[in-house]
Structure formats: structure tokens, C-alpha cells
Structure 1
Amino acid sequence: MNPMIRSTRLALAALLLTALAGCGDKTSPQTASSRAPSLSTVVVKPETAHREQVWDGVVEAVNEVTLTAQTNARVLELPYDVGDTVAKGDVLVRFTDIEQKSVRRAAQAQIASAQANFRNAEAQYKRIAEVFSKGLVARSDLDQARMQRDAAQAALHAARAQYSEAGQQVDYTVIRAPYAGIITHRYVHVGEAVQAGPPSPQPLIGLESLKDLRVTVQVPQSAVDAIRNHHHAEIMLGDGKRLAASKVIVFPYADPKTHTFNVRLLLDGSHASLYPGMTVKVAFAVGAAQRLLVPVAALWHQGEMTGVYVVQGDSVRLMQVRVGERFGSRVEVVSGLAPNQHVATDPAAAARYLSSERAEPKA
């Protein structure tokens, strides 16, 4: 902005505020004393609040995963790209499955063969056991039939296990999202051959959940004791609001190079304006302080000037204030107000009241 224009605007705003702040003259438009105003007010009193120190933190996803290949195959389909939001169970990677299905069909045929062998061995054992009960065959024949039956049963169990493993390999050809989130990395492309290992599985997709978030802050060792004692922190959002951490965790060791401690803040509830990777300001409680707090809705703004309407007896006047940090629906008044003053909670109503008083004819 042009410096001359800016100075002119500030001068006009200051002149307007000075004119509105006058209260000694009954004819002044900023003060109404002919009758008591019926305005809703709040009494400003010193309140004990946290004394704070602010550091930068980084938003992280509590649930993040890198999905890896669990079977050897070629990438057939990648429905989503980096930055896409997915739901739980959505297909993220689809592989070719010809080899896996062939192995499963072979395992299924092996089960059929093993079942037939087991039925024959079981029937043979029962016949020999019946004959042995009549004393017509030796015990060795019975024992041999029993061993053949048991071997056939074991072969059947092995065939079923092999079929289950083959079916699992088929399932590995479709990679699904374990939870709802956002795609952060895509390590493969359509047509690329992947290996399950060794030496290590090949990464496929990076996924982060946006539901559960946390904030990690590095704080100096001089502040750690106070943070441990108070265990209270708030994330300062861009719109002036704050989000209280549900839990403050101070790591029990410091970085030997920076001599800082990691502090982790867990978040509950709605945090739609936060995303993994963001930097945020975090206010830690390190002591106690007295603050004058007024509702944010009670503030009057004119350009770069801020004020509140103060009601005293039969008079209403506008006073310039300087505000500090915001605490929920209230904001701290650093200067311009004294304790026990009555502040109008609806500045528009107060302005209308003053306008009506200015419009009344003088006695």
C-alpha cells in the first residue's frame, strides 16, 4: 500500500476514534447519558490463565504405512495417484494373477488326489482291522495299514495347507487400503515387475490416515520441567482459534546434538484444518498469569483500529484497546481496559444506541 495513503487512513481512523472516545460533552455523539442504555454487558475481571511459551511443531499422522509386495507379479492397475483420498478397503494396486491362480488350481487338484488316497487307505485299514479281530492276519499287517492311513491323512493335510498358501498368494495380487486416508507415495508404475523379496519386499504405496493426527515439537531443555509440570498445550490455528491437545507426552531423553526434547501432542475431536506435514505454532503452559479477557464478538474494528464499547452508568463510550492471544471465543486485552469495567457484548447494538442518541434533538 502507498505509504501516504496508509498514513492518511491511520490518521482518519485515529481521528474517528478520538471523536468517539470523548465523553465530557453531553453533545458528543460518542456518549449517551439521557437515559440508561439497555445493552447486554460483561464485566471484565482479571482471570488466572496460563503463562505460555510458543514453539513450532510438525503435524504427523498417527497411522501411516508403506504397503509392500508380498508376491512376485507385474503391476496391472493403479487406480489412485499421490494426493488422492481413499476409503478403507479400496483397491490400491492390482497385479497379474495368472501364475498364482495356476498354482492354486494345482493345489486344488493335489487335494483331490490326497483325499482319494486317504479314503482308500482308510478303507484298507478298516478291512484289515476287521480281519485282524478274527485272528486271520498278523499284527504287522494291521500296523502297516495304520501307517499307510496316517501317511495318507498327513498328505491330505499338507495338500490343504498348500492350497491355502496358494489362495493367499492370489489374495496378495490385490492390495487394499487398510484404513481411510490419503496416498502420499507411489513407488511403482503400471507394467512394472515387483518382487516380494529377498532381501526385502518392494514398496508399493505410501498411505497416511487423516483421522488421527499428532504434533511433534522440539523444545529446549530449559523449558522441559515447566512443560512436564503443567502438561497443557494448545495448537494455534490460522483463524485465531486454538485446539487443545488431549495429551502431552515429553520424551524422557534429549537429542545429544541439539540438546532439545521431543514433545508429542495427541489430538482428539475435529481438526479439519490440520494435515500431515504442516508446521503449526504450539503454545505450552509454563506458569500462571493474570489476563483480562473479553468475548471476540465484543470487539469493534475500524481499519487497523480495535476498540470496545464500555457502559458506565448512563453513558456509553468507545475505547481503543490492544489485544493479544485468543483463547477460544475470548481474546486477551493487553491495554485500554481496566478491571471491573462493563463491556457491551454486541458492538453493533451499542453503535445503534449511540446513533439514536445523536439523532435526538437537544433539550
Structure 2
Amino acid sequence: MIKTFRFALLACGLVGGALTATAAPAVPVRVATVELAPHAEERAIPGRVEAIRVVDIRARTEGVIVQRHFQDGQYVTEGDLLFTLDDAQPRAALALAQAELKSAEASLRQSQQLLTRYERLINNHSISRNDVDTARMQRDVAAAAVQQAKARVEAQQIVLSYTQIAAPVTGRVGHSAFHVGTLVNSSSGVLVDIVQLDPVRVSFALDEAAFFSKTGQHADIHALKQAWLAQIEVDGKRRDGVLTSIDNRIDARTGSVAVRAEFANPQHRLLPGGSVTILFRPQELPSRVMVPAAAVQQDPQGFFSWVLKPDHTAGQRRLTLAGQQGQQFAVEKGLQVGEQVITDGAQRLREGAAVQVLN
């Protein structure tokens, strides 16, 4: 009787152990709440970076380069000196012009004094009217000579200023083949060029359908700004641009219109000639059901997510997607706002599996 009882207890223990072994533990997961958020499908359009200002630096007078104030590829600020030319000859020419001006001014004073004396004498009938007219003419000639001398001084001052060649814009200089000791003049060609790097312009082609869909048949740049936003991604961050102009015709070969936008470029990460992708989207964003990309999976039947049920089990939900925005998908069908989707741990799930929420 005792042996039979022991065997019964042992059998009960084995059965209980088997039941315990077959009960699957809850799968640890992390979840996110389905939300309603602004969303619009973006157009990824290839664009080309262009410099808004490119300045060719040329010599405007003849002289030998005595100083070069920059290194190739250096960033310069408007007003920074680039080249200094030998100014000995322009200074001498300026000194000569200034001396001629003083001489002309002295002649003018002498002529004016003579005219004043003659005008007093004519009242006493000591000289003729013809003498007064001649003196007045000589005074006028002397005054004109002073004006000519002043103009020559100003011209020589301008020539002297040309020996100091400065940067007219802020930007990066290119490679220059001109160094100290080189004789340059107006025929020497481009000494160096400067490219403005902040801001930069991006040119891209917007297809005709997108162009007219928001702006109408009488579209201009103002309507385009109100309808669309242009962005680029730099170092993982989006940067808004300002639409500045549209071309005056549609390219019949491509069915698109050329558009330009300006972007801030403080770190000079965008260089003229480079390629970028314009992210073009409407200014007004409709609200859509949004779900994290980590919660969306795909199999041969399409897209799906694992949804956390009220009884803390997992259920598979088939999805119809309406596009992607960054790390989120817009869901057209399959999920409701407020539901919780599993973003981590889904690889161990099956339909109806118990889950343990970690967050």
C-alpha cells in the first residue's frame, strides 16, 4: 500500500514537471505607441551645388608683386589683402600731379588778383573794357587748369590704390600661379579667383506635375515658396533652404523646370560642383498614423507589425503603408492611434505569445 502511494506521488510529480516545462516564458519586448503626426511624401531630387558669387581677381595696373598675402585654398574675408604691387612709380606720378595742382592753384590766385585790380581800375577809366575781359578769360583758364590738375591727382590716387589688391568678397581663394617677383598688368589674366561658400546655391529640376500641382498655372517664385519646402541633409541633420528663382520655361526634353534654392553653409561642407539630394515636400503637412520603422517587418505576404494585446500577448497585424519619413512609416491601413506596437524582441514572437514589456 505504501509503495503504491509513493508511485502515485512520483507520477504526479513527473506530470507536474512536464506541465511546467512546456509553459513558455514571457518574451521580453519593448513597445511604442502609434501616434497621429504630420506627414507628407517627399521627393528626392538630385541637385548641383553652385557658388552664388565667383570673383576673378585681375591686376588693374602694371607692377611687380612684392607681397602675396594668402595661401592657396585659404579662406579670406572681404577687404583682406591678396597682393601688393611695387608702388614706386605710381607714388612718383602722384607726387608730380600734386605739384602740378599747387602750380595751377597759384596761377589761379594770380589771375584772380589781376582781374580784381582791373575791375577797380575800369571804374576810373584807367584801363579799357577789353583789358578786363582778357583778365577774366585768363582767370577762367587758370580755374580750368586747377580742375584738370585735381582730376590728374585723383586719377593717380586711383592707380596707386590698384597696387593694393584686396578681396572684394568673403570666400575661399583658389590656386594661383602668381608669386612675389612676377610682373603683372591688366593683360596678365586671372591672378586668383574667390568662391563664396556661405551661403551656396543649389540648382535642381522640378517635374512639371509637381510644379503646377501646388502653385497653379500662373506660378511664380512666391507661390512656389508658399507651396513647397526644400531641404538638404548635412551631417545627418536637415537644413532648410530658401527658394530663390525658377526658370522662365519648361525643358521639353525632361518635362521639368529649373529651380534654385539657397542654403546656409557655415561649415563649408558644401562645395560648388558637388552633388546633393534635395528633399522637396509640401509646406502643409497632413496628419497620418505614424509608426516607428523598427516596428515594421516584411515577409513574402507584405508588411506587418506585432501588436501588444490587452492580455499582454502578441498579435500579428498586416499593414498597408503610405510612405516613409525618416525613421517612421505612415500607415494607411492596419493600425489605430493609441495601439502599442513591438519595436524590440519581435524575432522571438509567435501569434498569441505572452510578452513582458520592458519600457
The range that moved more, 184-193 or 116-125, is 184-193
Q: Is 1:81 paired with 2:81?
A: no
- CA-CA distance at 1:156 after TM superposition: 0.8
Query: What letter matches 2:233 in structure 1?
Result: L
Asked if the contact 2:230/2:278 (under 8 Å) is kept, the reply is: yes
- Give secondary structure in 2 for the equivalent of 1:188: coil
- CA-CA distance at 1:100 after TM superposition: 1.1
Q: Using the alignment, how far apart are the partners of 2:99 and 2:306 within structure 1? A: 88
Q: Is 1:92 paired with 2:82?
A: yes
In the other structure, the counterpart of 2:192 is: 205
- CA-CA distance at 1:339 after TM superposition: 3.4
Asked if the contact 1:227/1:284 (under 8 Å) is kept, the reply is: no
In the other structure, the counterpart of 2:51 is: 61
- Give secondary structure in 2 for the equivalent of 1:189: coil
Q: Using the alignment, how far apart are the partners of 1:343 and 1:191 within structure 2? A: 76
Stretches of structure 1 that go unaligned for 5 or more consecutive residues are 1-24, 33-38, 301-307, 348-353, 358-363
In the other structure, the counterpart of 2:270 is: 274
Assess, with a 3 A threshold, how the Cα gap between structure 1 residues 127 and 115 changes in structure 2: closer, same or farther.
same
Deviations 1:268-321 (A, max 9, x none): 58675433332100122379877544689xx69xxxxxxx99877685989999
- For 1:275-294, list aligned pairs within 5 A: 275-285=271-281, 291-293=288-290
Assess, with a 3 A threshold, how the Cα gap between structure 1 residues 337 and 154 changes in structure 2: closer, same or farther.
farther
Query: What letter matches 1:232 in structure 2?
Result: W
Which residue of the other structure, out of 2, 25, 28, is the alignment partner of 2:26? 28
Q: Using the alignment, how far apart are the partners of 1:281 and 1:228 within structure 2? A: 22
- For 1:51-200, list aligned pairs within 5 A: 51-186=41-176, 188-196=178-186
Assess, with a 3 A threshold, how the Cα gap between structure 1 residues 150 and 293 changes in structure 2: closer, same or farther.
farther
Stretches of structure 2 that go unaligned for 5 or more consecutive residues are 1-22, 217-223, 296-304, 345-355
- CA-CA distance at 1:187 after TM superposition: 5.5
In the other structure, the counterpart of 1:20 is: none
- For 1:298-313, list aligned pairs within 5 A: none
Assess, with a 3 A threshold, how the Cα gap between structure 1 residues 317 and 333 changes in structure 2: closer, same or farther.
farther
- CA-CA distance at 1:154 after TM superposition: 0.9
Asked if the contact 1:291/1:332 (under 8 Å) is kept, the reply is: no
- CA-CA distance at 1:220 after TM superposition: 4.6
Query: What letter matches 1:153 in structure 2?
Result: A
Assess, with a 3 A threshold, how the Cα gap between structure 1 residues 309 and 66 changes in structure 2: closer, same or farther.
farther
Which residue of the other structure, out of 330, 336, 347, is the alignment partner of 1:339? 336
Asked if the contact 1:43/1:340 (under 8 Å) is kept, the reply is: yes
Q: Using the alignment, how far apart are the partners of 1:332 and 1:293 within structure 2? A: 6
Asked if the contact 1:227/1:285 (under 8 Å) is kept, the reply is: no
- For 1:206-221, list aligned pairs within 5 A: 206-221=193-208
| Number of residue pairs the alignment of both structures matches | 306
Asked if the contact 2:112/2:139 (under 8 Å) is kept, the reply is: yes
Q: Is 1:251 paired with 2:238?
A: no
Q: Using the alignment, how far apart are the partners of 1:315 and 1:111 within structure 2? A: 100
- CA-CA distance at 1:168 after TM superposition: 0.7
Q: Using the alignment, how far apart are the partners of 2:175 and 2:50 within structure 1? A: 15
Query: What letter matches 2:137 in structure 1?
Result: M
In the other structure, the counterpart of 1:44 is: 35
Asked if the contact 2:41/2:324 (under 8 Å) is kept, the reply is: no
Query: What letter matches 2:176 in structure 1?
Result: R
Assess, with a 3 A threshold, how the Cα gap between structure 1 residues 87 and 288 changes in structure 2: closer, same or farther.
closer
The range that moved more, 232-241 or 53-62, is 232-241
Deviations 1:143-179 (A, max 9, x none): 1111111111111111111101101111111111123
- Give secondary structure in 2 for the equivalent of 1:51: coil
- Give secondary structure in 2 for the equivalent of 1:75: strand
In the other structure, the counterpart of 1:13 is: none
Assess, with a 3 A threshold, how the Cα gap between structure 1 residues 30 and 125 changes in structure 2: closer, same or farther.
same
TM-score (norm 1): 0.69
Q: Using the alignment, how far apart are the partners of 1:272 and 1:316 within structure 2? A: 52
Assess, with a 3 A threshold, how the Cα gap between structure 1 residues 267 and 294 changes in structure 2: closer, same or farther.
farther
- Give secondary structure in 2 for the equivalent of 1:83: coil
Q: Using the alignment, how far apart are the partners of 1:195 and 1:91 within structure 2? A: 17
